[in-house]
Amino acid sequence: MPAVPAQPDGAPLTVYETHPCRVLLGRGARGKVPGEAERLGARRVLLVETRSAAAAAGELAAALGGVLAARFAGPVVHTPVEVTDEAMRTVRATRADLVVALGGGAAIGLGKALSARTGVPQIAVPTTYAGSEATPVLGETAGGRKTTRRDPSLAPGTVVYDPELTVTMPPGLTLTSALNALAHAVEALWAPDATAVTDALAGEAAARITDALPRVLDDPTALPAREELQSAAWLAGICLAQTRMGLHHQLAHALGGTFDLPHAELHALLLPHVLEFNLPAAPRAAARLTQALRGDPVAVVGALARRHTGPGRLRDLGVPRDGLRAVAEEVGARPYPNPRPPAADEVTALLERAW
């Protein structure tokens, strides 16, 4: 990505760019998908679905009725091209003219990959808080190597957020996925290309996540809290789309890629450590987060992360201690913005603490 343009005194110049997107959000919003498909003039819909959302997908398939051309279950994280090729055969055989992707970031990613290859429009129906539906970014894996591209046409033109679809998330996924969303907001606050818009969205997202998440964990069926959490994930997704992510996302990508780790869990366990590392070098972000979280960000996020009953340390995820240094060096060598220089020694120490 190009460097952030500066004003004459060196302060960053605001550059704000967005893509057209129609968003529906609310309980029962999934019932509007057939109408949205009709709005787009679709006659042959391919439904891409996460296996764990089979019940919702079945319901949606029935609601789509005659315009449903085929269903494709089994998207895989990091969008391996072999899976996309398999789904493309269905797209061609059915001459699908709309992709509806129902599921987590894996399903949304496959929807983007199919749209990129065919130009067909997409409707994203997210069931986690990962935020991919809000971004014009696609990461794909071929031969074990992940490449990422950014293009406005990759962003789904319609997004339907229905909090009722998130109720089936187990508590562990709810927690880690919400912290994944919080990480987008946090990194947007210290991004060099932050704008007044992203500051506002990130602050609101962080406040809503830390307010709603404990209520959802106490009662996973509490729909108003689920709705608040999902609206926060939407805002955080826009932050992810509009700013350059820093050390936190680089570490998550490097560790996830090297050791094949679960996306949301990794984000959740890293976030308190990256906050502790970066906040002293990012006073504006620290002040905004302290206000949004109504407390010390490291303490508030750390307390939330500790509610996870699953793997809470890198060692619990099977990461070997002697592999940490190489990850720190890899991350230190990449070009990305971060408020504190990611020197290999210091990042290794950060990873040791997370280990």
262/295 with CB nearer ligand NAD: 262
| Residue from the set 80, 103, 246, 297 that interacts with ligand NAD by CB under 6 A | 103
| Residue from the set 34, 80, 104, 246 that interacts with ligand NAD by CB under 6 A | 104
Give, as ranges, the residues between 162 and 191 that touch ligand NAD (CB under 6 A): 165-166, 168-169, 173, 177
Number of residues that bind ligand NAD (CB under 6 A): 29
CB of 102 to ligand NAD, least distance (A): 9
127/278 with CB nearer ligand NAD: 127
Name the DSSP letter for residue 316. G
Give, as ranges, the residues between 290 and 349 that touch ligand NAD (CB under 6 A): none
Question: By three-state DSSP, how is residue 147 classified?
Answer: strand
Give, as ranges, the residues between 246 and 265 that touch ligand NAD (CB under 6 A): 263-264
| Residue from the set 73, 77, 116, 303 that interacts with ligand NAD by CB under 6 A | 77
190: Cβ–Cβ under 8 A, 6 or more apart, which residues?
246, 278, 282, 284, 285, 338, 339
Which part of the chain contacts ligand NAD (CB under 6 A), choosing from 133-141, 281-289, 333-341, 346-354? 133-141
The residue of the chain with the least Cβ separation from ligand NAD equals: 105
CA dihedral over 140, 146, 147, 148, signed as positive or negative = positive
Q: Classify strands 145-150 and 137-142 as parallel, antiparallel or unpaired.
A: antiparallel
- The answer to whether residues 277 and 340 touch, using CB atoms and an 8 Å cutoff, is yes
- The answer to whether residues 32 and 160 touch, using CB atoms and an 8 Å cutoff, is yes
| Residue from the set 22, 39, 43, 51 that interacts with ligand NAD by CB under 6 A | 51
The string of DSSP codes covering 25-80 is ESTTGGGGHHHHHHHTT-SSEEEEE-GGGHHHHHHHHHHHGGGEEEEEE---TT-B
| 210 forms part of the interface with ligand NAD (CB under 6 A) | no
Question: By three-state DSSP, how is residue 126 classified?
Answer: strand
Question: By three-state DSSP, how is residue 17 classified?
Answer: coil
**φ, ψ for residue 97 (rounded to 5)?**
-115, 10
51/315 with CB nearer ligand NAD: 51
- State the virtual CA torsion across 138, 35, 49, 127 in degrees, nearest 10: 70
CB of 78 to ligand NAD, least distance (A): 5
| Residue from the set 34, 111, 139, 297 that interacts with ligand NAD by CB under 6 A | 139
By the criterion CB under 6 A, which residues form the site for ligand NAD?
50-53, 77-78, 103-107, 109, 127-128, 130-132, 135, 137-139, 165-166, 168-169, 173, 177, 263-264
